[in-house]
Amino acid sequence: MIIKFSKITGFIRKEFLQMMRDVRMRMVLFAAPVIMLLLFGYAVSTDVKSINMAYIDEDKTELSRELIGKFTSSGYFINYAGIKSPLEAGLQMDSGKIEVFLHIENGFEKKIRSGSVASVQLLIDGTDSSRASVIVSYVNTITQAFSYNFFRQRVMLSLSAINSGRQKGGKAVKMPQDVELKQRVFFNPDLSSTNYFLPVIQGLIICLLTIMLTSMSIVKERETGTIDQIAVSPITPWELIAGKTIPFALVSFIDIILITALIVFWFKVPFKGNILFLMISAAVFIISTTSVGLFISTISKTQQQAILTMFFFLLPSIMFSGFIFPVSSMPPAAQVIAFVNPVKYYVDIIRGIFLKGVGFDVLWPNLTALAVIGSVLFYVSARRFGKSLE
Amino acid sequence: MKILSSAKRILALGSKEWIQIYRDGRSLVLSFLLPVIMMVIFGYALSMDVTHVKLVVLDNDKTPFSRSLIEEFSHNEYISVINFASNNGEIDSLLNGGEAAMGLVIPVEFEKRHLSGKSADIQLLVDGSDSSSALVSIGYVQAIVLDFNQANEISEMKQNGIKNPEIPVDIRSRIMYNSELKSKNFIIPGILAIIMAIISALITSLTISREWERGTMETLISTPVRRFELFTGKMIPYIFIALFDVIVSVCLGYFIFGVPLKGNFTELYLIALLFLIGNSSLGILISSATKSQVLSVQLSMMITFLPSFILSGYVFPVKNMPAIVQAFTYLVPAKYLILCIKGIALKGIGLTLLWSQILFLFLFCIIVAIGSIKYLDLRIPE
CA-wise closest residue to A58 among A117, A121, A115: A121
Question: Would you write out chain B's pLDDT as a tens digit for each of its 382 residues?
Answer: 678 888 888 888 888 888 888 887 777 777 788 888 888 888 888 888 888 899 999 999 899 989 999 998 888 888 989 889 988 889 988 888 888 999 999 999 888 888 887 778 899 999 988 888 898 899 899 989 988 888 888 887 777 777 777 777 777 888 888 888 888 888 898 888 888 888 888 888 888 888 888 888 888 888 888 888 888 888 999 899 899 989 999 999 999 998 889 889 999 999 999 999 999 999 999 988 888 887 887 788 778 888 888 898 888 888 888 888 999 899 999 999 999 998 898 888 888 888 889 999 999 999 999 999 988 877 777 7
- Cβ within 8 Å, pair B176-A28: no
The answer to whether A114 faces chain B, any CB pair under 8 Å, is: no
Cβ-nearest to A45 among B150, B169, B316: B316
CA quadruple A132, A138, A141, A142: dihedral sign? negative
Is residue A2's pLDDT more than 70? Answer: no
Nearest-5° angle of CA A271, CA A276, CA A281? 95
Residue A65 lies in a domain: yes
Pairing assessment for the beta strands A51-57 and A77-79 based on DSSP bridges: parallel
- Res. A166: pLDDT tops 70: no
Contact status, residue B338 vs residue B312, Cβ threshold 8 Å: yes
Is residue A170 in some structural domain?
no
Instruction: Determine the Cα–Cα distance for residues B267 and B351; give it in Å rounded to an integer.
Output: 8
The beta-carbon neighbor of B138 closest among A130, A183, A316 is A183
Q: Distance (Å, rounded) from C-alpha B193 to C-alpha B129?
A: 28
The yes-or-no verdict on residue A281 having pLDDT over 90 is yes
Nearest to residue B346, comparing CAs of B268, B279, B240?
B268
Residue numbers in A near B121 (CB within 8 A): 179-182
Q: To the nearest whole angstrom, how far is the Cα of B4 from the nearest Cα of chain A?
A: 32
The radius of gyration of chain A from alpha carbons, rounded to an integer in Å, stands at: 30
Residue B45, helix vs strand vs coil: helix
Q: In chain A, which residues have their Cβ closer than 8 Å to the Cβ of B186?
A: 127-130
The whole-angstrom separation of Cα A178 and Cα B114 is 8
**How many beta-carbon pairs below 8 A join chains A and B?**
384
pLDDT of residue A345: 94
Contact A48, B132 (CB under 8 A): yes
- Please report residues of B whose CB lies closer than 8 A to that of A75: none
* Lowest-confidence segment of A43-52, A104-113, A228-237, A288-297 by average pLDDT: A228-237
Helix (H, G, I), strand (E, B), or coil: what is residue A79?
strand
Kindly determine whether residue A329 and residue B305, on different chains, have CB atoms separated by under 8 Å. no
Is the Cβ pair A46, B172 closer than 8 Å? no
> Does residue A168 register a pLDDT over 70?
no
A-chain residues within 8 Å CB-CB of B41? 316, 334, 337
Cα gap A82→A88, rounded to integer Å: 10
Q: In this structure, are residues A49 and B132 in contact, taking their beta carbons and an 8 Å threshold?
A: no
Q: Which CATH number fits domain B53-159: 1.10.1040.10, 3.30.70.20, 3.30.390.30, 3.40.1710.10?
A: 3.40.1710.10
Of B113, B45, B117, B50, which Cα lies nearest the Cα of B77? B50
Instruction: Provide the pLDDT for residue A299.
Output: 87
- Residue of A185, A201, A296 to mutate when probing chain B, most B C-beta within 10 A: A185
Contact (CB<8Å) B157/A212: no
Q: Which secondary-structure segment (H or E) carries A197?
A: helix A193-224
Q: Do A130 and B315 touch (CB under 8 A)?
A: yes
Within 259-298 of B, beta carbons closer than 8 Å to A belong to: 290, 293-295, 297-298
Q: Do A159 and A304 share a structural domain?
A: no
Length, in residues, of chain B = 382
Domain range list for chain B = 2-47+182-375, 53-159
Q: CA-to-CA distance for A359 and A354, rounded, in angstroms? A: 10
Size of chain A, expressed as the number of residues it contains = 390
- Set of chain A residues whose Cβ sits within 8 Å of the Cβ of B319: 50
Interface test with A, best of B173, B203, B288 (most A CBs within 10 A): B173
Inter-chain CB proximity B41 and A316 less than 8 Å: yes
Q: Are residues A206 and A342 in the same domain?
A: yes
Q: What angle do CA A333, A336, A341 make, to 5 degrees?
A: 145
What total of structural domains would you count in chain A?
2
Residue in chain B lying closest to A173 (CA): B160
Interface membership of A38 toward B (CB under 8 Å): no
Closest CA in chain A for residue B125: A184
Decide if B172 touches A, using CB distance below 8 A. Answer: yes
Q: Which of residues 31-70 of B touch A (CB under 8 A)?
A: 31, 34, 37-38, 41-42, 44-52, 54, 69
Residues A110 and A157 in one domain: yes
Residues of A in contact with B113 (CB under 8 A): 177
CATH (domain of A160): 3.40.1710.10
* Alpha-carbon distances, residue A274 vs A257, A278, A305 (angstroms): 14, 6, 40
Q: Is residue A99 part of a domain?
A: yes
Same domain? A136 vs A150:
yes
Q: Which of A138, A147, A329 sits opposite B169 (nearest CB)?
A: A147
Q: Is B145 on the interface with A (CB under 8 A)?
A: yes
Residue A123 is classified by DSSP as E
Is pLDDT of A4 > 70? no
Residue A123: list chain B partners with CB under 8 A.
173-176
| Pairwise CA distance, residues A59 & B280, whole Å | 56
Put simply, the answer to whether A50 touches B343 (Cβ < 8 Å) is no
CA distances to A160, A173, A285 from A164, in Å: 6, 10, 74
A344 and A201: one domain?
yes
CB count in 10 Å sphere of residue B374: 12
For every residue of B148-208, DSSP letters joined together read HHHHHHHHHHHHTT-PPPPPSEEEEEEEESSTT--THHHHHHHHHHHHHHHHHHHHHHHHH
What is the C-alpha to C-alpha distance for residues B141 and B229, in angstroms, rounded to an integer? Answer: 63
B256 contact A CB<8A: no
Choosing from A165, A187, A211, the residue where a domain stops is A165
- Which of A144, A175, A151 lies closest to A67, judged by CA? A144
Q: Give the CA radius of gyration of chain B.
A: 29
- Contact A119/B169, CB-based, under 8 Å? yes
**Do residue A59 and residue A41 come from a single domain?**
no
Residues A198 and B131: their CA atoms lie apart, in Å, by 13
Closest approach of A376 to chain B, Cα-based (Å) = 25
Helix H or strand E segment including A101: strand A100-104
* Domain extent at residue A91: 51-165
Residue whose C-alpha is closest to residue A310's, from A296, A298, A321: A296
Query: Are the Cβ atoms of A182 and B124 closer than 8 angstroms?
Result: yes
pLDDT tens, A101-144?
Answer: 999 989 899 988 888 888 899 999 988 888 898 999 899 889 98
Sort B116 into a burial class: Cβ within 10 Å, 0-12 / 13-18 / 19+. exposed
Tell me the C-alpha distance between B284 and B266, whole Å: 27
Cβ <8 Å between A127 and B49 = no
The structure's pTM equals: 0.84
B323 touches A: beta carbon within 8 Å: no
CA-to-CA dists, residue A280 to A257, A274, A286, A322, angstroms: 12, 10, 10, 21
Q: Is residue A271 domain-shared with residue A320, that is, in the same domain?
A: yes
Asked whether the beta carbons of residue A43 and residue B316 sit closer than 8 angstroms, the reply is yes
Q: How far apart are CA A120 and CA B325, in angstroms?
A: 38
From A154, A150, A147, select the one nearest A120 (Cα to Cα): A147
Question: With an 8 Å Cβ cutoff, are A126 and B177 in contact?
Answer: yes
Are A352 and A322 in contact, with CB atoms under 8 Å apart?
Answer: no
Q: pLDDT (tens digit, 9 = 90+) per residue, A188-240?
A: 888 888 899 999 988 988 898 888 888 888 888 888 777 777 777 777 777 78
Taking an 8 Å cut-off on Cβ atoms, the answer to whether B169 and A125 are in contact is no
Question: What distance in Å separates the CA atoms of residue A99 and residue A132, rounded to the nearest whole number?
Answer: 9
Residue A163 has pLDDT above 80, yes or no: no
pLDDT at A367 over 90: yes
Alpha carbon of A232 to those of A226, A294, B123: distances in Å?
A: 10, 20, 70
| B341 interface with A at CB cutoff 8 Å | no
| Distance (Å) of CA B181 to CA A133, A147, A324, A334, A341 | 7, 24, 17, 21, 29
Question: A2 to chain B nearest CA, in Å?
Answer: 30
Partner A contacted by B243 (CB < 8 A)? no
Residues A266 and A326 in one domain: yes
| Burial zone of A351 (CB within 10 Å; 0-12 exposed, 13-18 middle, 19+ buried) | buried
CA distance linking residue A336 with residue B223, whole number of Å: 53
Burial, B295: exposed, middle or buried (Cβ in 10 Å; 0-12, 13-18, 19+)? buried
State the CB neighbour count (10 A cutoff) for residue B119: 10
| β-sheet bridge partners, residue B121 | A180
Distances (CA, A) of B217 to B223, B316, B369: 10, 42, 20
Instruction: Report the interhelical angle of A62-72 vs A129-165 (nearest 10°).
Output: 140
Q: Is residue A184 part of a domain?
A: no
Helix segments in chain B, DSSP class H: 2-23, 25-45, 64-74, 88-96, 110-115, 131-159, 184-214, 216-222, 227-251, 265-290, 293-300, 306-310, 323-329, 333-342, 351-375
Question: Beta A100-104 vs A118-125: how paired, if at all?
Answer: antiparallel
B215 in A contact zone (CB under 8 Å):
no
Q: Are residues A86 and A235 in the same domain?
A: no
Q: Is residue A244 part of a domain?
A: yes
The DSSP-derived string for A8-24 is HHHHHHHHHHHHHH-HH
Residues A88 and A104 in one domain: yes
Is the ipTM value over 0.85, yes or no? no
B97 touching A, CB under 8 A?
yes
- What mean pLDDT do residues A41-45 have? 87
Residue A85 at interface with chain B, using a CB cutoff of 8 Å: no
Average pLDDT of chain A to the nearest whole number: 86
Closest CA to A37 of A209, A262, A192: A262
Residue A23 region by backbone torsions, left for phi larger than 0, else alpha for psi between -120 and 50, else beta: alpha
